[in-house]
Amino acid sequence: MTKYIFLTGGVVSSVGKGVTAAALGRLLKERGFAVAVQKLDPYINVDPGTMSPYQHGEVFVLDDGAETDLDLGHYERFIDISLNRVCNITTGQVYAEVIGKERHGDYLGGTIQVIPHITNEIKRRIGLVAKTTGAEIVLVEIGGTVGDIESLPFLEAIRQMRSDVGRENTFYIHVTWLPWIGATCELKTKPTQHSVRELRSIGIAPDMIVARSDYPVNEDLCDKIALFCDVDRRAVVPMVTTPILYEVPLMLERLGAGEFVLERMRLEARRKPDWQDWERLVADVRREKPTITIALVGKYVELHDAYMSVREALKHAALSMGVEIEIAWVHSAELEKGRGWEVVKSAGGVLVPGGFGGRGTEGKMQAIRYARENKVPYLGLCLGMQLLVIELARSIMNDDKANSTEFDRTTPHPVIDLMPDQHGIADMGGTMRLGLYPCQLQPGTKAAAAYATELVYERHRHRFELNNAYRDVLASGGMRFSGLSPDGRLVEVVEIADHPFMVATQFHPEFLSRPNRPHPLFVGFLKAVIDRVGLQNLSKREDGREPIEVIQG
Ligand code: GLN
């Protein structure tokens, strides 16, 4: 029988429900269980693929090509698992399915209603997680906060699941926030009490309360929450904000959350959790280390969530090399106005991540040209590869009209062009080249050296590609095509031959980086940065201070 752990949010959003789910998943994996995590998003979009990063942060792509919420990235990184498309469902998907069946005549004259038709479809999709992943314990995170109109069908569905699958197979966790009142210097539990009352009014009695706070939570406060919210004292888990994201599993472990969950679900741990690697990881984050700076030149830099996986991948690689990473966020449109160049010039390396649309691309290309001409290490991801190709083509052909047809439909030199199978596609959602594809690395290239292997699988999310008609021109300017699709048709990785490290990929390596398994291309990039600046010249900074990691929910 599959066990289900449901996580709801109370008081306010963005307090770290996703990280809590991911960390708890790790606690259970450490005890020998096969775990999966699913996120239920109450919005009506079918997936976040069509949403602006300003609204939604990064779109995280899975092996099977699903475009998902960035919390899926936390789940995969913390638990070190690969999830699939059933692990992120939205109201839009649920309604599309039910309405499709209705049009097909599947309901035989019935009146289609939220209960039971919508709730049944939600439950069916929750059930698919264990079936498709083999998980024994499925954690289900419900997006938003209790009290939102739009999440009601999800809450009703998970309420029903207690009687469907049995009390001992379900466990409800409510993640709340304790506000700090500056005038009296105290934390308040009242919003938590109200939120639990709201949850109870729809029939869900929480089995555990994770009380998030920016300040230490004392015993009295925990006693009070237990009393007023009618939960076991051991079920009150005070989680103080930490600047180190990867410390959260260790904190939950210390607070006894893993043992309590297992006990209540009548499960025996199969093995003793082994936290050695995590302890080492967190100790490494804390240790004082030399700092290297990477200029991340993008369009959504005000919102760091838009580049969540890139930032994590940089941190993983830096940790493995004993350095601290500082990301200098550079807005590409500022570079176009001649501002922000001192930041780019003082950085050890330049990174241009993925993106869509023409705004800011000229500024990114100026940064790329600077990196190429001054032999500054460069890593380009997806759009960051396409812009390197355009920049080089312009320089070789001495023609600034070379472009991607994404930004200039009538360019005389479409060095980046729509993939043939993308012609005639009218729908924007879910129609890009998405998910895992093989890439054959070419021997003797920097990319092959970094990976130390020949065939790799990486996750994609793009519509445009390097136009093969320009391969010879680009090669004449020193570009090497270091990774190709196995049939040789698509260029997946490019690099500049006469340069310490200028490598760019059509895919997104950042999605496969893990805290204990940094991605080889990020490691290769940082190695080149360290070679350039020299470790002895770097200032040391006490760690855990910066960059402050705010737990996202
Ligand atoms: N806009 C480009 C394309 O569609 C790059 C996409 C990306 O960076 N993810 O091909």
Ligand 1 atom nearest residue 353's Cα = 8
Do 162 and 270 share a domain, yes or no? yes
The b-or-e profile of 90-117 (16+ CB within 10 A means b, else e) is: bbbbbbebbeeeeeeeeeeeeeeeeeeb
Is 446's C-beta closer than 6 angstroms to any atom of ligand 1? no
Q: Which residue out of 421, 431, 463, 505 has the highest number of ligand 1 atoms within 8 Å of its CB and is therefore the one to mutate?
A: 463
pTM score, whole prediction:
0.93
Report the CATH number at residue 140.
Answer: 3.40.50.300
In a domain, 205, yes or no: no
In a domain, 226, yes or no: no
Long-range contacts of 528-532 (CB under 8 A, 24+ apart): 528/349, 528/377, 528/500, 528/501, 529/292, 529/294, 529/348, 529/349, 529/377, 529/501, 530/292, 530/321, 530/323, 530/348, 531/500, 532/348, 532/349, 532/375, 532/376, 532/377, 532/500
**Quick one: pLDDT at residue 54?**
83
Do 264 and 368 share a domain, yes or no? no
In a domain, 551, yes or no: no
State how far the alpha carbon of 41 is from the alpha carbons of 144, 200, 268, 271, 374, in Å. 8, 21, 32, 33, 46
Distance CA 9, CA 141 (A): 9
Do 296 and 271 share a domain, yes or no? no
State how far the alpha carbon of 62 is from the alpha carbons of 82, 383, 399, in Å. 7, 19, 38
Report the CATH number at residue 310.
Answer: 3.40.50.880
The one-letter amino acid code at 54 reads: Y
Q: Which of 259, 278, 277 is nearest to 269 (CA)?
A: 259
Closest residue by Cα to atom 9, ligand 1, is 354
Provide the residue range defining the domain that includes 379.
287-420+430-539
Q: Which of 256, 280, 304 is the last residue of a domain?
A: 280
In a domain, 330, yes or no: yes
Ligand 1 atom nearest residue 357's Cα = 1
Do 263 and 379 share a domain, yes or no? no
CA 385 to ligand 1 center in whole angstroms: 9
pLDDT tens track, the chain, 553 positions = 999 999 999 988 878 899 999 999 999 999 999 999 999 999 999 999 888 888 888 999 999 999 999 999 999 999 999 999 999 999 999 999 999 999 999 998 899 999 999 999 999 999 999 999 999 999 999 999 999 999 999 999 999 999 999 999 999 999 999 999 999 999 999 999 999 999 999 999 999 999 999 999 999 999 999 999 999 999 999 999 998 999 999 999 999 999 999 999 999 999 999 999 999 999 999 999 999 999 999 988 888 889 999 999 999 999 999 999 999 999 999 999 999 999 999 999 999 999 999 999 999 999 999 999 999 999 999 999 999 999 999 999 999 999 999 999 999 999 999 988 878 887 888 889 999 999 999 999 999 999 999 999 999 999 999 999 999 999 999 999 999 999 999 999 999 999 999 999 999 999 999 999 999 999 999 999 999 988 766 666 544 444 433 333 2
Peptide bond into 116 cis (omega under 30): yes
Distance linking the first and last C-alpha atoms of the chain: 29
Do 303 and 353 share a domain, yes or no? yes
CA 355 to ligand 1 center in whole angstroms: 6
Q: Would strands 170-177 and 208-213 be described as parallel, antiparallel, or unpaired?
A: parallel
Q: Which of 252, 280, 308 is the last residue of a domain?
A: 280
| Length reported for the chain | 553
Q: Which of 295, 305, 306 is nearest to 335 (CA)?
A: 295
* CA dihedral sign of residues 452, 457, 458, 461: positive
In a domain, 195, yes or no: no
In a domain, 207, yes or no: no
Domains contained in the chain, number? 2
Do 128 and 149 share a domain, yes or no? yes
**Quick one: pLDDT at residue 546?**
42
Catalytic residues, by residue number, are 382, 508, 510
In a domain, 193, yes or no: no
Q: Which residue out of 50, 356, 361 has the highest number of ligand 1 atoms within 8 Å of its CB and is therefore the one to mutate?
A: 356
Do 146 and 293 share a domain, yes or no? no
Q: 16 and 23 in contact (C-beta within 8 Å)?
A: no
**Quick one: pLDDT at residue 436?**
97
Start-end of H helices in 383-435: 383-397
Start-end of H helices in 347-402: 361-373, 383-397
Q: Which of 258, 280, 302 is the last residue of a domain?
A: 280
Q: What is the DSSP string of 302-344?
A: T-GGGGHHHHHHHHHHHHHTT-EEEEEEEEHHHHHTT-SHHHH
Do 125 and 250 share a domain, yes or no? yes
Distance CA 36, CA 361 (A): 38
In a domain, 222, yes or no: no
Do 304 and 260 share a domain, yes or no? no
**Quick one: pLDDT at residue 259?**
96
Ligand 1 atom nearest residue 382's Cα = 8
Is 364's C-beta closer than 6 angstroms to any atom of ligand 1? no
Do 267 and 397 share a domain, yes or no? no
Do 299 and 413 share a domain, yes or no? yes
**Quick one: pLDDT at residue 430?**
81
Do 272 and 401 share a domain, yes or no? no
**Quick one: pLDDT at residue 108?**
86
**Quick one: pLDDT at residue 334?**
93
